[in-house]
Amino acid sequence: MLTLHSTNRNCPDVDFKTALIAGLAPDKGLYTASGYPRFSGEELLGMAMMGYPELAYTVLSRLIGDQLPEAKLKEVCEDAYDFDVPVVGIPGENVHVLHLDKGPTASFKDFAARAMSRIMSYYTEQDGRELLILTATSGDTGGAVASAFHGVKNIKVCVLYPAAEVSERQRRQMTTLGGNVQAIAVDGKFDDCQALVKRAFADPELAILNLSSANSINIGRLLPQSVYYFWGYFRALEGRVAAGALDPAIISVPSGNFGNLMGGLIAKQLGLPVAKFVASVNENDEFPKFLQSGTYQKVEPSASCLSNAMNVGHPSNLARIVDLYGGTMDHDGKLLKQPDMDRLRGDIFSASISDEETRFIIEAVYQKYEHVLEPHGAVGWGGLRRYLDASGSDAPAITIETADPAKFPELIQEVLGIDPPLPASLKSMQKKQEAYAKMRKNYTAFKDFLVEHYAH
C-alpha cells in the first residue's frame, strides 16, 4: 500500500486518507507516493476483459485497499463510473483515440472528481466533520468538481475561474448548480486563481475553515486517473492482448497541469507496458523546452490558447514528475535537485502545438477520418504525430481526447462548418439560472469573502 511524502521533503510521511483530506502538504509540497506496487504480466492479462468499474476497483484496491472497506471501494467505483469510455480505432492507422469525454460534464476530469468526492464523503461522514473544497480552474476542473460534489453531505465547494478565459458552457457548469457549490469569477488568469487558492491553504487564519483541495494538487485526483490508461491499452491492443502479448504502446496526453500525465506515469509504475508518453502541450511550452535543455523556466504570464484548459505556464504536477525521476522542484518551480534527465527523456517526449496547427489538425482529421476532435484532443493528436514522425516508430499508439467538441461550438462551427451534437448532460444546464460572485485578483478580498461566507 502507498506511503506518501511531500515533494519538498520537509514534513512527515502520511497515508492516503491524510493526504486526501489535507490536499497540500504542510511544507507546501505535493503529496506523492514513495513507491508503487506492480501488477505481474499474468495479472495484467487477467484484467484485460474487466468492465470499467471492476478495472477501477482492481487498480485502486492495489493502491489504497487498506484505506477503506472493500465493499465501499467497490460501491465508489460502480457509482462513479456509470458512463461509457469509448476507444475508437482510426481507420488505416495504428492509432486509437481514448475518449474520456462522456462523463456528466463531458471532460476527463469527471474520472478523478467523481471517485474522489465519494471517497472524501465517506471519510467526512466517518469522522463527523465538514470540509470546504477550494478549487482553481482553467476551464474544466471547476465544472467536474462542482458536479462531482454537488449535493454531497458535509462538503461545500468554492470554485475560482478566470472570468475571461472560460467558455460559456464551462462557466454554466459551475454557476448553475447552486446549493453547496459557490462559483467565483476572478478578474485575472488561471495562474492568479491558483495563487489565491494556494495562499488560502497556507494561511493559518483560515485553518478554521477545514480547507481541502480538489485540484490536480490533490493525490486523490491522481490515482483514479491511472485507471483509464489500463482501459485504453486493453481496448486498443485487444487482439494482441488476447493472444497473450503485452506490447509497449505510445500514449499521447494533452497536458496543462500534468495531472493526466502523472496518472499515466503511475500506470506505468504499476506495470502497464508503455514505450513512450507524449506530453502534448499548447503554446505554453515550458515543459518541452525543459526536456530539451535541462533548464526550467515558467511561461509568465501563461499564453491564452484555444485549448483553454491547458493554458498553464507552470504545471503544478511537475514537482511530482521531477520527484518521480529523482529530483526536487519547489513550489515556485525552482529546481533544487535536477532529476535524472536521461530517464525522463527515455519515458517522455514532449511537443508544443500552436493554435494554427490545432485548427489545421481539427480540419484535417475530420476531412480524412470523419472524426471530430476538439482543441485539447487536437493538441494530443498533433503531439503524437510529431513523435511518430521524429521516431519512425510503428508501435501501437493511443491519443487521448479530454473534452467533448460540443464544449467548443463556436470553434468547431468556424473550422468545420458543423454544429457538434450536444450531449444530454450539457443540454440540461442551458436553461438554468446562473449565480456567481465577482472578484479582483486580490488575496485580502478573497480571504474576507471566505471568512464571511464560511466561518461560523
Ligand X SMILES: *Cc1c(COP(=O)(O)O)cnc(C)c1O
Residues that bind ligand X (CB under 6 A): 107, 109, 139-141, 216, 254-260, 309-310, 376, 402-403
Least Å distance, CB 413 to ligand X, is 19
Q: How far is the CB of 448 from ligand X (least distance, A)?
A: 29
Residue 44 or 177 having the CB closest to ligand X: 177
What does the alpha-carbon distance between residue 415 and residue 248 come to, in Å, rounded to a whole number?
35
Which CB atom, from 68 or from 357, has the smaller least distance to ligand X?
357
Residue 4 host element (H or E): strand 4-6
- List the strands of the sheet with 87-89, edge to edge: 87-89, 95-99, 397-401, 249-254, 274-281, 348-352
Rounded-to-integer distance, Cα 24 and Cα 18, Å:
10
Which residues lie below 8 Å from residue 360, measured CB to CB, with a gap of 6+? none
Cβ count near 344 (within 10 Å)? 20
User: Which residue has the closest beta carbon to ligand X?
Assistant: 140
Cβ-based nearer residue to ligand X, 159 or 241: 159
Supply the minimum distance, in Å, between the C-beta of residue 9 and ligand X.
Answer: 23
Give the Cα separation of 213 and 211 in Å (integer): 7
Minimum distance of ligand X from residue 269's CB (angstroms): 17
Residue placing its CB nearer to ligand X in the complex, 180 or 252: 252
CB of 329 to ligand X, least distance (A): 16
Question: 3-class SS at 410?
Answer: helix
In whole angstroms, the minimum distance from the beta carbon of 243 to ligand X comes to 33
Closest to ligand X by CB, 68 or 321? 321
- Name the nearest CA neighbour of 280 among 261, 294, 297, 299: 261
Identify which of residues 59 and 309 has a Cβ nearer to ligand X in the complex: 309
How far is CA 334 from each of CA 34, 216, 330, 338, 400, rounded to the nearest angstrom?
21, 19, 5, 10, 30
To ligand X, the closest distance from the beta carbon of 214 in angstroms equals 13
Residue length, the chain? 456
Nearer to ligand X, 142 or 271 (CB): 142
Residue with cell 473534452: 403
